[in-house]
Amino acid sequence: MYTLLKKEIRSFLSSLIGYITIGVFLLIIGLFMWVLQTDSNVLENGYANIDPLFVIAPWVFLFLIPAITMRSFADEKKAGTIELLLTRPLTDLQIILSKYFAGFILVLFSLLPTLIYYYSIYKLGSPVGNIDTGGMWGSYIGLLFLGAAFVSIGIFASAITDNQVVSFILALFLCFFVYTGFDYLGSFAFLGKIDNIIIGLGINQHYASMSRGVIDTRDMVYFISLIAVFILSTRTVLESRKW
């Protein structure tokens, strides 16, 4: 399993698209935080606040993570190596987890350079260090959970098709729906108290809670459950080839 994990990470980092994807993520975040004249511009707002990062990043992740995961199984199917992969002395779940953790590690790689933004805001504060560091780390944890959930969705989308473009589009749609779709459904207010339950099924409410720097076990359980659902669904898709 560890060998397959290293292979997946090496495969992504050995391709130009890997660095372009991560570079575009950092560029977009940087533009919104430091260059473009928007409400997210730290310099324009006049106070040391890293919150814009956690508002913008999920929307960029909607495109970044499907780009990372679209090759996971779709490329194996198109190249005809999926059968060889499934005959290795690994269970289907181990193969899926190898690809999943590879995708998650790449998301982590893309987030690490954003600590430069935190350091910059830390230094810009008056006095220096006038920033809620505890809340910032809580927000980073929330962003990692959100990224982990998107990776599980992307892996699932890649498993049900042999076309990378279709995998990307499907993962983008599913991530968008799970992130904001339930909010839209709940906003119609036609089911009374059930509307709040519908909203709670979406990622946005739980991510917003963690982005405030509050780590609630209910939010963690939600993300872990969502990840488990899509990983198990991916295993079902793979096992269906044996039926």
Q: Which two tokens stand for residue 44?
A: 């324009």
What angle separates helix 133-159 from helix 217-239, to the nearest 10 degrees? Answer: 20
**CA–CA separation, 241 vs 243, rounded Å?**
6
User: Can you give the three-state secondary structure of 19-72, one letter per residue?
Assistant: HHHHHHHHHHHHHHHHHCCCCCCHHHHCCCCCHHHHHHHHHHHHHHHHHHHCCC
Q: Which residues contact 144 (CB under 8 A, 6 or more apart)?
A: 107, 108, 111
* Token pair 């805001």: residue: 121
pLDDT at 127 over 80: no
pLDDT at 243 over 60: no
In terms of average pLDDT, the best of 18-32, 64-78, 214-228 is 214-228
**Residue 202 contacts residue 146 (beta carbons within 8 Å):** no
In terms of average pLDDT, the best of 122-126, 197-201, 225-229 is 225-229
Q: What is the pLDDT of residue 242?
A: 61
pLDDT-based confidence at 170, cuts 50/70/90? very high
- Domain coordinates in residue numbering, the chain: 2-242
Higher-confidence residue of 111 and 240: namely 111
pLDDT at 222 over 60: yes
**Which residue from 45, 49, 48 is spatially nearest to 36, judged by alpha carbons?**
45
**CA–CA separation, 46 vs 38, rounded Å?**
13
pLDDT-based confidence at 177, cuts 50/70/90? very high
Q: What is the pLDDT of residue 229?
A: 95
Q: What is the pLDDT of residue 124?
A: 76
Q: Mean pLDDT, the chain, as a whole number?
A: 83
Q: What is the pLDDT of residue 230?
A: 95
pLDDT-based confidence at 241, cuts 50/70/90? low
- Measured in Å, how far apart are the chain's first and last C-alpha atoms? 25
